[in-house]
Amino acid sequence: VDKCVVILSGGPDSTTVAYWAKDKGYEAHAITFNYGQIATREINQAVKIANELGIPHKVVDLSALKEIYSGVTSLVDKSIPMTEEFSQPIIVPFRNGIFLAVTVAYATSIGANLILYGAQGSDEKYYPDCRRDFYKAFESASRLGTELSIELDAPFSEIQKSDILKKGQELGVPFHLTWSCYYNGLTHCGKCESCTNRKKAFHEAKILDPTEYAE
Ligand SMILES: [Zn+2]
């Protein structure tokens, strides 16, 4: 059985990737990053999801990144206001690049040669480090830097969030365990950009949304 590492954020997209990998027969390992995000709840949810799926899981503490990103993104810096619509402050520049680099290192340490992450179609517009051009270049760099045949893939990079949810439903993804909100409330806020996309995607997929929203 081939080993792979799935970058699991705790959100519905990466959770579906993890379920998809296991369904494909991979020996899947999950990795989750604490990058100083306000929504640490997503990390706890990732732990529960990996447990539910029955796969090994590593949480990596990169919380010092908060110092790098302070003043840049509202996801780590409470003084930058969160908006309901998409806006620059929710971008965390090169976050995926950092995650992929650490994941390549982890993959080499456990003998995995495939890395999967949950970039989806609509990420491409705003997040350059979610684009195929980027991760294929990163794949080349990983091969050069390890002399191993590392493969990087985002199996859902061509499809929209609602279609990922449909796939997830087929695979039995426990959506109630997934977390999307940029805040760290007891329930999803229901208003931030990420909650808005989550609501919209469940609606478009015609799947009953199990999420409890504050409003
Ligand atoms: Zn929210």
* Confidence check: pLDDT of 124 > 80: no
Distance 27 CA to ligand 1 centre (A): 33
Which residues are placed with Cβ below 5 angstroms of ligand 1, an ion? 181, 189, 192, 195
- Model confidence, pTM: 0.94
Question: How is the beta sheet containing 114-116 ordered, strand by strand?
Answer: 57-61, 27-34, 3-7, 114-116, 151-153
| Mean pLDDT of the residues in the chain | 92
| pLDDT at residue 208 tops 80 | yes
Distance 81 CA to ligand 1 centre (A): 13
pLDDT in tens, 51-96: 999 999 999 999 999 999 888 788 888 887 777 777 777 788 899 9
Share of the chain above pLDDT 90, in %: 75
**Which of helix, strand or coil describes residue 66?**
helix
Quote the tokens at residue 60.
């990596």
The beta strands (E) that lie in 48-180 are given as 57-61, 114-116, 151-153
The residue-averaged pLDDT of 173-184 equals: 95
C-alpha distances out from residue 155 to 2, 5, 130, 213, Å? 16, 13, 12, 29
pLDDT at 155 > cutoff 80: yes
Longest dimension (CA), the chain: 51
